[in-house]
Amino acid sequence: MRHTLFDFSFEHWPAILLSFIPALFNLSIFFYVLFYVKRTRISTVFLFMVFFLFMWQMEETMLRVSATEQCARLWNRMFSVSTGFITASGLHFILMLIDKDKWGKSLPILAAVYIPNLLLCMTFAADVAYSDFVQTPNWGWIYEPKNLPAKAGIVWVFLQALAMVVLLLFHAFKLKHEQSVRYKQIVFILIGLAIPALIGGVFQALLPIFFGFEPIPVGSGLVVFFSLFSLIGITRYNLFEYSPMHQWGNIVESMNEGILIVNNEDIIKYVNNKFCEMLGYSRIELMNTRASDLLLIPERKPIINKMIDRRKKLFLDNYEMAVRKKDGSHIICQINAQPYLDENRKVVGSVGIHTDISYRKKAEETLKYSESRLKEAQSVAAIGSWELDIRTQQTKWSDEHYKIFGLAPHRHTPSLQFLLSFIHPEDLENYKKYIEELFISFRHSSFSYRIIRQDGEVRHLFSNSRFMRDNQGKVLQLFGITQDITERVKKEEELKEKIKEMDAFIYRASHDLRGPLASIAGLTNLGKTEIKDKQAGFYFDKISDSVIRLDDILVELSKIARVAQAKIDFSEIDLEKEINDILESLSHLPAFGRIDFIREIDTAGFLCDRILLVIILQNLIINSITYYDEQKEKPFIRIKASKTSSGVKIIVSDNGIGIPEEIQEKVFEMFFRGTNTSKGSGLGLFIVKNAMKKLNGSVYLSSTAGEGTTFTVILPAHSK
């Protein structure tokens, strides 16, 4: 039986060579890439595509050597499955070439590319897509699609080939202004693919199917152009190799700085997307225009010309310049410029890396303005600032801080030892102790001290310091302010002297006035015994009341002076005895006999100034007696005392007439009287407040009108 698979005839040898030689050429590329090119996803896809091209060209070769139709049909059946994936693998390769990360890994897109071709191969294998085989005088056996599936398959393959050309054409157009290695790769692949795709598609698909022309199988032979240009892309332009040159476009486009390349005539030859984004122009608008036209100040163009001349001499430049945007506004750019060299090391232009520093410049201007305002404020307030870096031990002083010390700014190194040389000898030990405690506790603190400046002048200073820490709580920096408070200290000393003089005057005046006032009281009482006229007696009574009232005021004023001038003398207090003595001294008061005095004393002795404590308690008890409620059946005054963890608490409460809420905050003011009918001098609670200040204690009021009043006295603990 004759083996029809090998019924060969070589009478069409020119046509046989036209397909067989390209097949060998593709097979050579296949082995070159397989053994000499680093394996990547894109090189693997390219390998499959070249292998399918080889199989297609071998199919064309076997059709041309077949002597019978049966032989031609068998060879077609054998190769049709593999050749059906030529355009699918080719389209996959083009997508990865354009953007391997976006398109080369997208499963939906790859499914849309390969699944139709898989179905197409299945239709050919199952004879669903049917073609007639016709023997031609020049090309041997060729097949003509006869039914719809066969024609649809041929059209689909042509459309995929056309899509490959369109994608490459569009991408090349995007890269045409770059003139990069990537652009040259795309152009070479585009030329090699366009020739067989367009010519072969027209003569093997469009004309036979739609116009009835006899197919001319030139596609497989013309694929040699694609193979040739692919080989050039692989060997000359490192199509599948990773290198900075190959990735230049991706690197530049992903940068956050604007890239501008100009030639020696200052004509723009390349800009990246970031540069366009910074200025609001499109790439087409900027290409082949003069770069100096973008300057905000045209007068600076001569400076640009000098820079261009410098770069021709291989100088590098770094400068700042205002650049005009498309909308008329401008940005400040920091420009790093360097020469652009060709392969012969000849300067053909310059590359400028543009960084938008507008926000930084604005922030710097704002900071400078704030610093100038701070210096002005510090100068007016005589406040200097300083900082100490804990890690480097470097110290910085502000200009005003130098002036406070009587020094010219930045003429000395402001170390701690330098600072100690100015401290007043009497304050030096305390200052060292303050510094030592500061670095042990790492807490915010303040301290007053004196310095002796170089001119011998003594100045009083006040420093307030704070620590700055990182996110882990580690101390990084100590900073603070120093204020010259010399004038304030002088004023305070003068005020203290005036207060002392005023207290002495009040004490002497109240004491001296009580003598004549006692004489008036005696004469008034004597006159009342001798005058028989009732009206005159009434007047003498009024005079006597006024004298008594005036004497009470003088007594209270003398107490105020005594409190102000008193020197604190702590001694052990028997509080129960002192209260009994106070109550006994007040027993002459008219309302005393009607009031029930309740004593709850549990102090067991404590330290306090006896005179000031008696003044405080006496005035509080007098206040409760004076304002007792006559309408209540059982008026009382409760005196309760107890020790606390921090000192002694004394509570004086009553059920008297109480104090209205609206005047409670004023009762400790001098000469304040709640009503015109008030019986007191308006000085008692004022004396209590000042005595408590002297003892570093506190007094609190709680009262409800008509129910009563409670005074709470808190005295700190003291030791001998």
The model's confidence at residue 218, banded by pLDDT at 50, 70 and 90, is low
More confident residue, 94 or 305: 94
Distance CA 453, CA 604 (A): 54
Cα 568 to its chain centre, rounded Å, is 55
Distance CA 480, CA 632 (A): 62
CA angle 499, 500, 506 (to 5 degrees): 85
Cα 579 to Cα 372, 425, 485, 594, 610: the distances in Å are: 64, 49, 45, 18, 12
Specify the residue for token string 């004469």.
Answer: 523
Average pLDDT value for residue range 375-388: 68
Q: What is the pLDDT of residue 708?
A: 92
5 pLDDT exceeds 50?
Answer: yes
Torsion of CA 448, 452, 453, 458, to 10 degrees: 80
Q: What is the pLDDT of residue 636?
A: 94
SS3 318: strand
Helices within 37-85 (DSSP H only): 41-65, 69-83
**Across 232-236, 359-363, 604-608, 633-637, which has the greatest mean pLDDT?**
633-637
511 pLDDT exceeds 70?
Answer: no
142 pLDDT exceeds 80?
Answer: no
Average pLDDT value for residue range 237-253: 57
83 pLDDT exceeds 60?
Answer: yes
Q: What is the pLDDT of residue 561?
A: 59
Average pLDDT value for residue range 473-484: 79
- For residue 212, how many C-alpha atoms fall within 13 Å in the half-sphere facing its CB? 0
Q: What is the pLDDT of residue 245?
A: 44
SS3 216: coil
In this structure, the number of other CB atoms found within 10 A of the CB of residue 458 comes to: 10
Angle between helices 86-99 and 148-174 (to 10 degrees): 20
Distance CA 411, CA 149 (A): 95
Nearest to 462 by CA among 486, 443, 440, 478: 486
Average pLDDT value for residue range 451-476: 82
Is the torsion defined by CA of 476, 478, 480, 482 positive or negative? negative
With 0.85 as the threshold, say if the pTM is over it. Answer: no
CA angle 595, 598, 601 (to 5 degrees): 150
- pLDDT tens by residue, 408-436: 887 777 777 788 888 888 988 888 888 78
Q: Token digits for 278? A: 């910074």
More confident residue, 640 or 102: 640
Percent of the chain whose pLDDT exceeds 90: 5
Q: Token digits for 236? A: 């000359």
Q: Which helix (H) or strand (E) holds 280?
A: none
Distance CA 604, CA 408 (A): 63
216 pLDDT exceeds 90?
Answer: no
Average pLDDT value for residue range 187-194: 76
More confident residue, 418 or 297: 418
Contacts 24+ apart (CB under 8 A), 461-465: 461/404, 461/485, 465/438
Percent of the chain whose pLDDT exceeds 70: 75
Three-state secondary structure readout of 550-592: HHHHHHHHHHHHHHHHCCCCEEEECHHHHHHHHHHHCCCCCCH
